[in-house]
Amino acid sequence: MMVLHMLLTPRKCLMLLCAGAVVVVWISVSFFGDIAHVSGAQIPSRDVLMLSRGKIPPFPDDQMKHLDWFVQISDIHISRYRLRSISQDLLIFCNEHLDIIKPKVTVVSGDLTDARDYNWHRSKQELFEWKVYDSILQQAQVRNKTIWLDIRGNHDVFSVPSWSNSENMYRKFSMQGDHGRTYRYTYQSPDGDKTTFIAFDSTPDPGPRRPFNFFAVTTQEIEDEVEKLLTASQPSNVTILFGHYPSSVLGSKRMKQLMSRCMVYLCGHLHTFLGVVPHMHTRQHAGNLELELADWKKSRRYRVFAVDHGLFSFVDKTFDTWPVVLITNPKHAQFNMPHYEPLGRMVRSTHIRILVFTKESTHSVRVKVDNISLGNARHVSGPLYVLPWQPSAYASDIHQMEVEVTDTQGRTYMERQPFCLRGQCDISFPFFARFLLMTDFTTGIRVTFWALFAFTLLPLVLFKLMYRRLQVAVTGTWHTCPARWLQTLLRWGYLLGSTDSVFYPLIAYDIYVAVGPWFVGELLNGYVGACFVYGIFVNGSHIPGGLTYVLGSIQLCVCNIPLAPYLGHCLDVAVSEHRRPAPSRPLLTWLQRHFVFVWLLSWLAYAAVFVVCLPYGFLAALLCPVFTWAFPFVVYLRWLALRKGVASAKYLPQSSVEKLPSEAQMPDVASQ
């Protein structure tokens, strides 16, 4: 304890605690600080407007009026090399499902094609895939069935130098390629209701090869265009914004603020997050919904959503599963939006309203509320079924509605959902869905990288500045196990700080990861660029860092942070064996003792091959200081540490060296 008191004075302890608190607050604000993106003054005025609209007719009744429904699909990933069933099933979907559902508008939120080779290493736009996509739309005569609103995803811009370049095949083969990166479409129903769809493309421009375009890049020009389109859509009853990327990876506070002016934001991109979150929905801080849709590629999911008297409802379904049942009044309680919907119309409605889409004729639609049968719903026209009810009987609490649909073949399907007539109810969304959609990952990964960088660099600097004071700590006798572990780490730090020929190259490598180009190579077909942790420079443009910060954080955790104590361990071994020659050891024991060394080289080799060489070519791997050049550099540092460790013993007084615990007596951190 006296040693710790000597090393850490009360003033230094206070400074360390303050620094730690600042880091924690910074990370917390970065990850969960999106509340500030929404103006608090907007919500009360919107509440008053929605409350007043909820008292004004029309109210949901038994007429086929003020009701429109639409469809969304996302992440199709038509591939030349894999899963031909993707395009086959999409053709069936366009031929059969659209004929049955008859949506007024179909939203396709990106990743129309896959643009990757068979092994998923190289990425570029494939003419074959775009022709297949165009052929499906032509064969199914989609133009005659629905308004098809498609937009690009990150796969659709792999190796695309610019919007006007011929590699941008979206312009030629998509349905909406004639528009720019933002466009607006307003559907007006025969009843006069207007639903506006605003699309915005936040893919990188230029679009590098994979994997460094996972995060969105939203420019001020796109934000200005979206704001103009939002202003122009104010007369509409409902405004729906859609794009490929979830708001958590947009990296634009202004865009998130613009999203709060829409009732719903539809997106894709995250698929089901490796199957962990099959239903990725949340209510953002402003009160509007953000609905990510699972991919068509593997999950074969699509969404049917409706606007019924200004009330938004939806259901996510799997391809070729029937019937599709969507209860539009009363709507699902979890998705109530008091700031955006006239929820009072549910309280004043006269009928339960249900949309039923099925391949077979429907025999009956039975309705229960809280396990009490209300009877059979009556067919009005098209997919609409209605049933009279008394909403005043359910004015309080949350209730459960069950709809049982039976077709003429005797098959039954049950749809259950809670409803609440008193506004927003306390039905929380799954944690992982909220985390993935509400976290500001763009800021968070940057903060994480720089925090890890500080954790990598600052201890080394402290060891260099204080290594003479550490002599007392490393030569004393510490008896408890945690104390001996701490003594071992301090000893390694002492030896690093006292060996300039190892210390300064190590510091230089750590700093280079944060400031230097990682590699130089063909980031686009025919265009050579440079990759830094803070972004990519190619074709005269700078693409801000996204996934580069993630890779940089992994590099620090897997390589740079373990490298420092390992080199200290090597110096320790050299000093100990200089005083006490080490016995010969078999190969297995050597591998166990030098597991960290093998680990470091394995990671560097993996990163050089799979992160750099295969995606970007041999030139990128050859001009890659962080991974390829680091392989011999780490080998050299280890050799240097073992060689210079003997010389480091001169910094220790002879009497102190004799007091040093032998390596066998000290906990071997490197081998554990």
38 pLDDT higher than 80: no
Model pLDDT, residue 659: 47
Residues 39, 29: Cα–Cα separation, whole Å: 17
User: Among the ranges 70-74, 77-81, 615-619, which has the highest mean pLDDT value?
Assistant: 70-74
295 pLDDT higher than 80: yes
Do you find a cis peptide bond into 206, omega within 30 degrees of 0?
yes
Torsion from C-alpha of 377, 382, 384, 387, nearest 10 degrees:
-30
Tokens 């939120």, residue located: 109
656 pLDDT higher than 80: no
Model pLDDT, residue 473: 56
3-state secondary structure of 452: helix
553 pLDDT higher than 70: yes
447 pLDDT higher than 80: yes
Residues 101, 146: Cα–Cα separation, whole Å: 10
Instruction: Give the mean model confidence (pLDDT) for residues 452-463.
Output: 91
48 pLDDT higher than 50: yes
User: Among the ranges 156-160, 273-277, 422-426, 661-665, which has the highest mean pLDDT value?
Assistant: 156-160
Instruction: Give the mean model confidence (pLDDT) for residues 74-80.
Output: 95
128 pLDDT higher than 90: yes
Q: pTM for the full model?
A: 0.86
Model pLDDT, residue 148: 98
- Inter-residue contact 60 to 386 (CB < 8 Å): no
Model pLDDT, residue 21: 45
- Inter-residue contact 420 to 336 (CB < 8 Å): yes
Type of residue numbered 517: P
The two tokens of residue 452 are 């890890």
490 pLDDT higher than 70: yes
Model pLDDT, residue 347: 93
Interior/surface letters 104-131, b for 16+ CB within 10 angstroms, e for the rest? ebbbbbbbbbbbbbeeeebbebbeebbe
561 pLDDT higher than 90: yes
Residues 523, 95: Cα–Cα separation, whole Å: 39
Instruction: Report DSSP letters for 359-384, one per residue.
Output: SSPEEEEEEEETTEEEEEPEEEETTE
Q: What is the pLDDT of residues 215-248, one digit of tens each?
A: 999 999 999 999 999 999 999 999 999 999 999 9
Confidence of residue 571 (pLDDT cuts 50, 70, 90): confident
Q: Please give the residue that has the higher pLDDT: either 619 or 669.
A: 619
Q: Please give the residue that has the higher pLDDT: either 349 or 526.
A: 349
Q: What is the pLDDT of residues 79-113, one digit of tens each?
A: 998 878 999 999 999 999 999 999 999 999 999 99
35 pLDDT higher than 50: no
Which residues pair with residue 419 across a beta bridge? 399
3-state secondary structure of 545: coil
Out of 53-67, 85-99, 273-287, which region has the weakest mean confidence (pLDDT)?
53-67
- Inter-residue contact 525 to 492 (CB < 8 Å): no
Which residues pair with residue 113 across a beta bridge? 78
Instruction: Give the mean model confidence (pLDDT) for residues 374-387.
Output: 96
- Inter-residue contact 634 to 600 (CB < 8 Å): yes
Percent of the chain with pLDDT over 70: 82
Percent of the chain with pLDDT over 90: 65
Model pLDDT, residue 470: 64
Q: What is the pLDDT of residues 166-179, one digit of tens each?
A: 999 999 999 999 99
Model pLDDT, residue 480: 54
Query: Whole-number mean pLDDT of the chain?
Result: 85
585 pLDDT higher than 70: no
Confidence of residue 426 (pLDDT cuts 50, 70, 90): confident
Model pLDDT, residue 496: 84
